[in-house]
Structure 1
Amino acid sequence: MTSSAPQTQRNALAPGLLAAIALFVSPLFTEGLGATIILFVVAILALIVAWFAWQARQWWWTVVFVGVAVVWNPIFPFGFSGPVWIAAQIVAAVTFIAAGALIKNERTTP
C-alpha cells in the first residue's frame, strides 16, 4: 500500500551532524595539525550541505554555508581565537544540525 503524500529525504543530515561533531570537539584542538584538520572537515562539509540546500531549492541555506566555508577555510585561515571563536563554533554547530533537519528533497524513484 503506497501513500499519496510525497516522501522526502534529508540528504544534508549526515554531513550536518558530522560537521557539528567536529565543531563541538574543535576547542580541544587550538593549534597545529588537529586545528587544520578541523578547518578542512568543517569547510568541506559546509560546501556539501550548501550543495544539498541548492538541490533542495532552499537557497538561503546555501548562502549561510558558503559563508561558513569561507570563515573556516584552511587555505587562508583567519586565525580567530578566544571565547568569541568558541561561541562561533557552537553557533555554527547548531546551524549545521538545524540545516540537516530542515533541508529536505522530494524522493525520486529511479
Structure 2
Amino acid sequence: MHASRSSEPPLQRNALAPGILAAIALFLSPLVPDGFGATIVRFVVTILALIVAWFAVQAGQWWWTIVFIAVAVFWNPIFAVEVDYGVWAVAGVIGALLFLAAGATIKNARIES
C-alpha cells in the first residue's frame, strides 16, 4: 500500500515552547519574593507573551494576538499593575492556562528549506 502525501504542508507549534516556559514561570511565581525576583518574572512573562503573540500573528490567529498583548500589558514590569496578592495568584493560574492552550493550538505551516 502506498501512502499518499497530503497537499497540505505539515504544521508546527512554534508557540509551544514559550507557552510552556511562561506557564512554568507563572505557576512558580507565588514562590518568588516581591522585589527583584518578581520583576524578573514579569519580564519573562511579558517577553514570552509577546513571542506567543507574534507566533499567533504568523499563524493568522488574531484572537490569540489580542489575548497575549493584554497579558503583556498586565505583566509588564515597566508600568507595573499593582494588585493584591490573591489577584496575582489567580491571574497567574489563568495566565499559565492561556499560555498552555495557545501553545497547543497555535499552528503554522512548516517551512521546508
Bin for the TM-score computed over the shorter chain: over 0.9
The question of 1:54 aligning with 2:77 is answered no
The residue type paired with residue 3 of structure 1 is: R
Structure 2 unaligned residues grouped into runs of 5+: none
Using the TM superposition, give the Cα deviation of residue 2 of structure 1 relative to its aligned residue in structure 2, in angstroms.
6.7
1:81 aligns with 2:89: no
- Quote the offset at 1:84 in angstroms: 2.1
Structure 1 residues 32-47: aligned runs within 5 Å: 32-47=35-50
Aligned to 2:67: 64
Give me the CA root mean square deviation. 1.3
Q: Any runs of at least 4 consecutive aligned residues in structure 1 with deviations exceeding 3 A, and if so which? A: none
Which structure 1 segments of 5+ residues have no match? none
User: How far has the Cα of 1:108 moved from its partner?
Assistant: 1.7
Write the distance in 1 (CA, Å) between the matches of 2:58 and 2:105: 13
In the alignment, structure 1 residue 100 sits paired with structure 2 residue 103: yes
TM-score scaled by length of structure 2: 0.92
Matched residues in 1 for 2:58 and 2:25: separation? Answer: 24
What's the % identity of the aligned pairs? 62
1:3 paired residue number: 5
Normalising by the residue count of structure 1, what TM-score does the alignment of the two structures yield? Answer: 0.94
Aligned-pair CA distance for 1:80? 1.8
